[in-house]
Amino acid sequence: MTVKVPSTLRRLQIAHLLFGMMFWYGIEQLFLNRYLHTDSARGYLTVAFTVSVLIFDIPCGILADKFGRKKALLVGCIAQTIGLVILGSSDSLTQYIIGSILFGLFISLMNGAAQALLYDHLQLNHLAHTYSRQQGSVYAMFLVGAGIANLASGFMAHSLGLRAPYYLSVIPSVLSLIVLLPIAEPPLGKEAAKWYAQLQDVVREIKSRPRIVLFGTQFIVSELILLTIGEFGQVYILSFHVSTIALGIIWSAVALFAALGRFYAHRMHRWPRITIALYCLVLALFAYVHSWIGIVLFWIMYGYNESLSNISETEVQDETRSEIRATLFSSVSFIGNIIAVPGIFLFNHLYINHSIYTANTAIIVVSIAVLLVTITLSNRLPARRSVA
């Protein structure tokens, strides 16, 4: 069986563009400051979101492998829509946490399922070797959508109030559901095993393939940076006393650099060690600089982080069999979130008791150390091998 890759790719790109058009991303910190009235809100919400992904990630991956990746994406769209309404109407931290948990469910349903859906479509048409480029273009559309939304968010909030961006985000959420409906579900390979047998299969796959372990570790580092330095990025930017509109514009540039990182990741894939070495240099400079130039370095850091995520994810996909693809990738994400939770607590503690710069530096030191170890160990890896 073959499927129309251009049509599937185009619909996934449009859906991810709409996924990214969440107009509240760019002004969320201002909403928290206005309605939740606690400096620790960001830390609590990031932990709640991460724990929800931690709980849902592997079950959602298993369900996607067992019942269909398209079905997982459609349910995710519904969870996203409900979550937006709850977030926008929040007047308390508890209510906002509930909305964040639903958003975590959306991310868990999308994470792994979207990548597995694309990879299987490409593999059926003997185009798996183009996955890095194609996935880069798909996720870059998410970031382009986020850039558009972030740019608009400051103007929306300034003219219509801080709740309006949340409610207006319901429109692209519903449209993404409509765009995904016609996508064909590729065959899932052999009949999926029981969930516990599937997990055992994932453990055996990881143990037998050192490339999954090493590149999975790099992916986990990129997620840790996103869940700490990235999640607190608006706190960092607001430390320069920018306006509501300026925050939206600056945050849109973050999405632009992230999109560029995804678009060009397949080119950087040819020189992974050089890419990581340059990324470590950017991280070190960002930790050292405490002036407005740090905002530019923050943009560049985001771009490199998305490239690292794409490169490491591609390597993991290349090493994974189709029938456990979503489950295994969800398992890697699950491990990353386990590690991220104490990292978030540490980051929030350092931010509250010291400064955002101290918190950023702590995460950067750990990340650089781990990435340099992976560069060293990559010399001992067996050759890449794609699997059916």
State the pLDDT at residue 340: 85
Q: Which residues contact 151 (CB under 8 A, 6 or more apart)?
A: 26, 248, 249, 252
| Orientation of helix 41-67 relative to helix 28-35, angle to 10° | 130
For the chain, 388 residues long, give each residue's pLDDT as a single digit of tens.
444 556 788 899 999 999 989 999 888 888 988 888 776 777 888 888 888 888 888 788 778 877 888 899 999 999 999 999 999 999 888 999 999 999 989 988 887 788 888 888 887 777 777 877 887 788 788 888 988 998 888 889 889 999 999 999 999 999 999 999 988 877 655 455 565 566 666 677 766 677 778 888 888 999 899 989 998 898 899 889 888 888 888 988 888 898 888 888 877 777 778 888 999 999 999 999 988 999 999 999 999 998 888 888 887 877 776 666 667 777 777 788 788 888 988 998 899 899 999 999 999 999 999 999 988 887 666 555 554 4
- Contact 306/261 with Cβ under 8 angstroms? yes
CA distance 23 to 31: 12
Q: Which CATH class is domain 5-180+192-378?
A: mainly alpha
- Rg for the chain, CA atoms, rounded: 20
CA distance 37 to 186: 48
Q: Is 175 helix (H, G, I), strand (E, B) or coil?
A: helix
> How many CB atoms are located within 10 Å of the residue 164 CB?
18
Instruction: Retrieve residue 274's tokens.
Output: 């050089």
State the pLDDT at residue 195: 54
> How many CB atoms are located within 10 Å of the residue 271 CB?
12
- Contact 116/326 with Cβ under 8 angstroms? yes
Instruction: Retrieve residue 248's tokens.
Output: 């939206």
Q: Is 365 helix (H, G, I), strand (E, B) or coil?
A: helix
CA distance 166 to 149: 11
Q: Chain-centre distance of CA 281, in angstroms? A: 22
State the pLDDT at residue 3: 45
CA distance 51 to 14: 29
CA distance 123 to 248: 39
**By C-alpha distance, which of 295, 277, 314, 279 is closest to 357?**
295
State the pLDDT at residue 174: 96
